[in-house]
Amino acid sequence: MLFLVHTYDREGGLETRMANREAHVGWLKAAGTRIKAAGPWMNEAGEMAGSLLIVDMEDRAALDAWLATDPYALAGLFSKVEAAPYKWVINAPVEA
């Protein structure tokens, strides 16, 4: 099941983001093909201010358990995390 995950960095969190970025990217890569899309979203100043993920997980419980292991979450980066089931309609990737 696909989920859209939208995270918001806490105020002044850019230093925390940068200090944990390598570990976060490694965590995403370790999830392999479960990650359909991932990247930071930018604020008006052009700085990273949160993340947007499209993730394939068995259910919401599996997603929540996985998200709890995110190095950014463990470092206290996020002020808010939103997640919801997602239906990819336009330009969906072809499943192998």
pLDDT digits (tens, 9 = 90+) for 41-69: 999 999 999 999 999 999 999 999 999 99
pLDDT of residue 23: 98
> Once rounded to an integer, what is the mean pLDDT over residues 27-50?
96
Q: Kindly list the structural domains of the chain, giving each domain's residue range(s) and its CATH number in brackets, ordered by start.
A: 2-85 (3.30.70.1060)
pLDDT of residue 95: 61
pLDDT of residue 96: 40
Between CA 25 and CA 70 the distance in angstroms is 10
Tokens 């696909």 -> residue: 2
Sheet strands side by side (includes 78-85): 35-42, 48-56, 2-9, 78-85
Q: Which residues on adjacent β-strands are paired with residue 50?
A: 8, 41
> Once rounded to an integer, what is the mean pLDDT over residues 26-46?
96
Q: Is 36 exposed, middle or buried (0-12, 13-18, 19+ CB in 10 A)?
A: middle
Question: What's the pLDDT tens digit per position in 62-75?
Answer: 999 999 999 999 99
- Segments of the chain assigned E as strands: 2-9, 35-42, 48-56, 78-85
